[in-house]
Copies of this chain bind each other. A is one copy, B any other.
């Protein structure tokens, strides 16, 4: 291995070569994957897919004026094989006169450190390195990787069986930001036949980290079973379906983006409920996913059921849904996606007429005439002027808090339970204390102390509003 890299191909090889190269070139043109003068980082493991890819790029290098760097990553798994693969790759690139760089990365340690599977760790390391190398080539450099049609179909099966929206049924895209996949139009068997017909060597794939258990089962059991029993042409069938769904998703994405409904306010992501309501279900779902993506970075972990629960919030005022460290809630005619903050215990001395902020409550107070026509809602409470005789305290709840009601005393905790206030909100809500008594669980329940009556000329009005800040 590695001795004769490229031999003079026989005639059938030549014809086959021309056909395959044409197919890929047509694909590149049709999908606009590579442009004249492109600077390209190629992921180059030395396995058949990447050997074919590099060979192909070398073939079109002059025509497109390409600048190519082949990047090899030694994952330090099975070190003997890995060293051999690295040497093979270096030599292959050198014979094609293509710039070669290699990195040694301890994927096992990285996986442990980050709590990732070895496959995910490997993928992340590779794309980090590719991106670094691409940056060195310039701002528009592309990353070219060797996924083929079988990879696409396996990925779609994985997503289909695991459960995913239609997005998962697109599988792998030939172009995704700066990553392109020019041989996605070829089947694995075409690649192998090509390499064999042309006597092009490659290393075996057994250090390939992508070969995880489920994917292997799909490749070696499920797809052969389906080819035999249902559809010998399943690869193309699935690829066609993937194309249809991709176009539909692009349309939905574009439509949804043009609505421009996702707003950012104080680090929260907001969707106006009135505008959300009039959209069709598919667009509502897309907007929920987009809003979540915006706060979380990706749509992973957002299940079908999660999305349904968030959509239900549209019709449930002041209710909320929690996922990971996010709180998503209906407030003030918006669905708000916010990062849950650890709410700290707070205790503040308060004087009437001050305006203060307590968590996301803005609290103010004043002495007003008792006109008999006082504004009444759950954001306002009135007390008699006896509370001016000492200091008010505004604070978070404490264990054992009680509140005096008409004729009896109740635990604050029980009131929270009765009102179905979740723990997060319990920490958020300010209590007003005077003389060691709780006067008001703001917005929830007023005590029976310091009540007002119509004979009083002046009363103390305390009120609040909430701002969206998570």
CB of A375 within 8 A of chain B?
A: no
Question: What are the residues of chain B within 8 A of A230 when measuring CB–CB?
Answer: 161-162, 214, 217
Nearest 4 pairs of A and B residues by beta carbon: A163-B237, A251-B282, A247-B281, A240-B304
Pair A252/B241 contact, Cβ less than 8 Å: no
Question: What are the residues of chain B within 8 A of A304 when measuring CB–CB?
Answer: 240-241, 243-244
Contact residues, A218-270 vs B (CB, 8 A): 221-222, 225-226, 229-231, 234, 237-238, 240-241, 243-245, 247-248, 250-252, 254-255
Q: A226-B161, A231-B162 are in contact. Are A280 and B250 (CB under 8 A)?
A: yes
The residue of chain B having its C-beta at the shortest distance from the C-beta of A214 within the complex is B230
The residue of chain B having its C-beta at the shortest distance from the C-beta of A284 within the complex is B247
- Chain A residues close to B by CB (< 8 Å): 160-166, 169, 214, 217, 221-222, 225-226, 229-231, 234, 237-238, 240-241, 243-245, 247-248, 250-252, 254-255, 280-283, 285, 304-305
- The copy count of this chain in the complex is 2
Q: A217-B229, A251-B252, A252-B251 are in contact. Are A241 and B282 (CB under 8 A)?
A: no
Beyond A217-B230, A240-B305, A255-B255, 15 additional pairs, beta carbon < 8 A: A160-B160, A161-B230, A161-B234, A161-B237, A162-B230, A162-B237, A221-B229, A244-B285, A244-B304, A247-B281, A250-B281, A251-B252, A251-B281, A251-B282, A252-B252
Question: What are the residues of chain B within 8 A of A164 when measuring CB–CB?
Answer: 241
Query: How close is A182's CB to chain B, nearest CB, in angstroms?
Result: 20
Query: How close is A234's CB to chain B, nearest CB, in angstroms?
Result: 7
Can you list 18 residue pairs at the A/B interface with Cβ under 8 Å? A163-B237, A163-B240, A163-B241, A166-B166, A166-B241, A166-B245, A169-B169, A217-B230, A222-B225, A225-B225, A240-B304, A244-B285, A247-B285, A248-B248, A248-B282, A250-B280, A251-B252, A251-B281
